[in-house]
Amino acid sequence: MIMKGKKGLIVGLANDKSIAYGIAKACKEQGAELAFTYLNEALERRVRPIAESFGSKGVYELDVSCEEHMSSIAEHIRRDYGEIDFLVHSVAYAPKEALTNAFLKTTQEAFDIALRTSVFSLIDLTNRLEGVLAPNASILTLSYLGGVRYIPNYNVMGVAKAALESTVRYMAVELGAKGQRVNAISAGPIKTLASAGIGDFKAILNWNEVNAPMRKNVTIDEVGNSAMYLLSDLASGVSGEIHYVDAGYNIMGLAAVEKDEKGKSVYRFNNN
């Protein structure tokens, strides 16, 4: 199995509909040993049964904004695993008003929270885990097309994802000198707990399905398989990349077109 003997930490799993779950599942199926974190007591009730189903002994409370949690995570890993071969960072958050109000109405507080939680947490977590990351460790985070293009209602999260993708490149250079890799997956829209906070998300799903070259939306399993590749030794020569898993939607400049019965081009705006 591709990941046999590998140990990794999954940060940000919320439930079995999460992209992080798809990644964990793919890695586990290929032989990886996994540790998980949960944000708070409410999410622990969802995460712990998942961890147990994967045979995981490490399940840790981790709010990336809590110094107590961040300062102890490396020691937890060292105690239970010695070191880890990969890290999955699936953490993003912006206050609700920053996603529902106009982008220009974003407050400084909301901006700071979004960037600190969604971007700086990757830098901070990597630094905290430095002593337990294997010499050839692979780090993976999750982005979205809203970081490079305008997506309705994505607002400050788009700015955060742009910063996250830049962070991947800068981290890849510095960690590459040590033999470690950093990449991101930019997944297509998927119905998850996190996406529930984005207005008109159903319309985004529909648009992507209709206009993506493959005429579909991707699943957490498809994202998981791509993530497993990037985390494994199969991708030992890949770092600093933003890998799109979105049925090809990112290549589109306009809505897809088809020919009608008269041979005239017709734009595909919906599938009704």
pLDDT digits (tens, 9 = 90+) for 127-175: 999 999 999 999 999 999 999 999 989 999 999 999 999 999 999 999 9
Catalytic residue status for 150: no
Q: How confident is the model at residue 188 (pLDDT cuts 50, 70, 90)?
A: very high
**Inside any domain, residue 138:** yes
CATH number, domain of 56, equals 3.40.50.720
The answer to whether residue 2 is domain-embedded is: no
Q: Is residue 272 part of a domain?
A: no
Answer whether 98's CB lies under 8 Å from 144's CB: no
| 85-94 pLDDT per residue, tens | 999 999 999 9
The β-bridge partners of 258 are: 266
CA atoms of 58 and 78, how far apart (whole Å): 11
130 located within any domain: yes
Instruction: Decide if 41 is inside a domain.
Output: yes
pLDDT above 70 coverage of the chain, percent: 93
Q: In terms of DSSP bridges, do strands 257-259 and 265-267 run parallel, antiparallel, or are they unpaired?
A: antiparallel
Cα–Cα distances in Å, from 157 out to 66, 147, 195?
21, 8, 11
Q: Which of 21, 144, 244, 249 is catalytic?
A: 144
Q: Flag whether 132 is in a domain.
A: yes
Average pLDDT, the chain: 93
Please identify which of the residues 38, 60, 93, 154 carries the catalytic annotation: 154
Question: Is-catalytic flag, 144?
Answer: yes
Q: Is residue 237 included in any domain, yes or no?
A: yes
Cβ proximity of 10 and 20 under 8 Å: yes
**Count: domains in the chain:** 1
Residue 135: domain span: 7-267
Contact 200, 153 (CB under 8 A): yes
Q: What is the pTM of this model?
A: 0.93
Residue 1: inside a domain: no
